[in-house]
Amino acid sequence: MTDTAPSAPPADAAIDLSADAYPAGSRYANDDLRPVPLAERRWTTYNFVALWIGMAHCIPSWTLASGLVALGMDWKQAVLTIALANVIVLVPMLLTGHAGPKYGIPFPVLARASFGLRGANLPALIRAAVACCWFGIQTWIGGQGVFVLLGKVFGGWADVSRVGGYPWTLWLCFVLFWALELAIIFRGMDTLRRFENWAAPFVLVGAVVLLIWIANKAGGFGPLLDEPSKVGWGSDFWKIFFPGLMGMIGFWSTLSLNIPDFTRFGKGQSAQVWGQSLGLPTTMTLFALMSVLVTSGSEKVYGAAIWDPVALAGKTDNVFGLLFALVTVFIATISVNIAANVVSPAYDLANLAPKVINFRTGALITGVIGVVIMPWKLTSTPELYIFTWLGVVGGLLGTVAGILIADYWIIRRTVLHLADLYLPNGRYWYRGGWNGTAVTAFVVGGVLAVGGSYSTLDAKGAKQGPFPADGLIPFLKPLADYGWAVGLGSSLVVYVALTRSRRGREAG
């Protein structure tokens, strides 16, 4: 059954679901997945801007830009790549985010409309798995940053016995970081909103301080801007640009899916549209500019591009500066991690078994998985981090985004029937709770997007990743550098074509 009502409400009109219409007894419903009542949708434009500033100003997003410099780009090329990527990824972010303030539903419930009540667990668990990995990566990076800076403050911090090849003090920082993150998210989304409101400007100040410090050591901003490109604007540049662009898009492709988890609390469409438009591309571009300037400055001062801001901050002998950097790293990492990597899997896992797993239980499961995946390996080199990890993740998540956008905007024209999103045998039940059309589109898009995934070779001919050098499926290798775009475009086209073909057969 489909829901193409001829008298649809205005596209931006917020819709509420009364208590008596909400099927609370359904096994596909719980308090965390139910639509947010209109009276509780309070997030303003500033809240969304602050959310994005808090998420963008973190160590991994810093290393995106500085990693491009380390790979040979100059500051103009790196900033251009990142600015373009964030303008591109903003589009699906706004499209999927539309359902949040209109219906008050999180990402896994929105996915039920296209994948089916049971089938929605496929994209939800893929998104959850990626978020769990990101949670582990961010927590490890944050704990490592605290470890390095405390070592500079106290001395001898690393000269202790080792566990699993690392000092036990590093593991202590990692565990403390992990516990604090979960403690904050356990207090709920309103606590997260208040935390992001003050964390965002604090982290921005920290980045500016680091920029001023390295500029002073380099003799002003001139030397930072004069560092030439090592790849020029020829073929060597394009070899880095396209996979780098997809990697930058892949960095936020996760949020382009589960942004309804946040926009469902928005006061209206204008709050989420303006908040995201002002918060994401501008913040990431500004942060990228600061990152590449600092990295270029580090090359002038120390003779090598230092793309890790913690390692760079650790070179100062000023105790106050080290403590300030310590607090900045702490707040920056926590602000992005709990927003970007705990909220989503908490809802996604709750969607898997609503009567067993609630939001807090899902957050705890996320934390446990983030510890056991050994996240430190993924950020060992910029090649592995940007091209392999972000590229593959972006390809898969772009495929899901294509299906969500096709179903919500092209097929349904933003019209959903809220109660049926929680009812077995309703209009979104399809066959046994699965929409075969969405699954087919996902498989086709996913194979095209990541089937050609390959590993680069270093100067000695050694692979820099887990894939064959000529690609998993060699003839698809040329598509691998465009994984996110290929996945989104192909799944969107396949889903629309199959859905309309099916409707034509049913009508006939």
- What does the pLDDT look like over 310-326, one tens digit per residue? 777 777 777 677 677 77
Do 59 and 310 contact (CB within 8 A), yes or no? yes
The reported pLDDT for the residue numbered 448 is: 95
Predicted confidence at residue 8, as pLDDT, reads 47
Res. 2 pLDDT band, cuts 50 70 90: very low
Give the residue-averaged pLDDT of 221-249. Answer: 74
Query: How far apart are alpha carbons 374 and 370 in whole angstroms?
Result: 8
Helical segments of 71-188, H only: 75-97, 99-103, 107-115, 121-154, 168-185
| Residue 338 amino acid letter | I
Name which of 7-11, 84-88, 158-162 the model is least confident about. 7-11
**pLDDT score of 312:** 74
Query: Any bridge partners for residue 457, and if so which?
Result: 463
**Long-range pairs for 354-360 at CB < 8 Å and ≥24 separation?**
354/27, 354/28, 354/29, 354/30, 354/32, 354/33, 355/27, 355/30, 358/30, 358/31, 358/32, 359/32, 360/186
Q: Which range, 242-251, 314-323, 387-396, is most confident?
A: 242-251
Share of the chain above pLDDT 70, in %: 86
Q: pLDDT-based confidence at 147, cuts 50/70/90?
A: confident
Q: Are 227 and 300 in contact (CB under 8 A)?
A: yes
- pLDDT at residue 376, rounded to an integer: 64
Q: How confident is the model at residue 97 (pLDDT cuts 50, 70, 90)?
A: very high
User: What gap in Å lies between CA 171 and CA 287, rounded to an integer?
Assistant: 29
pLDDT at residue number 1: 44
Residue 332 corresponds to which amino acid? A
Q: Which residue has the higher pLDDT, 233 or 464?
A: 233
What pLDDT was estimated at residue 6? 40
Higher pLDDT, 275 or 315: 275
CA nearest neighbour of 473 among 447, 457, 452: 452
* Nearest-10 Cα torsion for 77, 334, 164, 169: 110
CA distances from 393 to 43, 57, 254, 378 (A): 29, 21, 8, 12
In this structure, are residues 64 and 82 in contact, taking their beta carbons and an 8 Å threshold?
A: yes
Q: What is the pLDDT of residue 218?
A: 74
Burial of 414 (0-12, 13-18, 19+ CB in 10 A): middle
What is the pLDDT at residue 5? 41
List the structure tokens of 23. Answer: 């099927």
pLDDT at 73 over 60: yes
CA of residue 45 relative to chain centroid, distance: 20
Longest dimension (CA), the chain: 78
Q: In 3D, which of 91, 35, 89 has the Cα closest to residue 273?
A: 91
- Residue 357 DSSP class: -
For the ranges 124-138, 193-207, 312-326, 406-420, the maximum mean pLDDT occurs at: 406-420
Q: Is the pLDDT of residue 169 over 50?
A: yes
**Quick one: what percent of the chain has pLDDT higher than 90?**
26
Amino acid at the residue 327? V
Q: What is the structure's pLDDT at 192?
A: 65
229 φ/ψ angles, rounded to the nearest 5 degrees: -75, 140
d(CA 487, CA 394): 9
Q: 58: which DSSP letter?
A: S
pTM of the entire structure? 0.81
Query: Which residue matches tokens 């000269």?
Result: 159
Candidate from 13-17, 195-199, 337-341, 489-493 with smallest mean pLDDT = 195-199
User: Angle of helix 121-154 relative to helix 390-405, nearest 10 degrees?
Assistant: 140
Alpha-carbon distance of 49 to 70, in angstroms, equals: 30
Comparing 79-88, 260-269, 308-317, 343-352, the range with the smallest average pLDDT is: 308-317
The whole-number pLDDT of residue 32 equals 85
Given pLDDT bands bounded at 50, 70 and 90, which one contains residue 35? very high
Give the C-alpha separation, 188 to 210, whole Å: 32
pLDDT value at residue 360: 81
Residues 6+ apart with CB under 8 A from 252: 86, 89, 93, 280
Three-state SS annotation for 156-192: CCCCCCEECCEEHHHHHHHHHHHHHHHHHHCCCHHHH
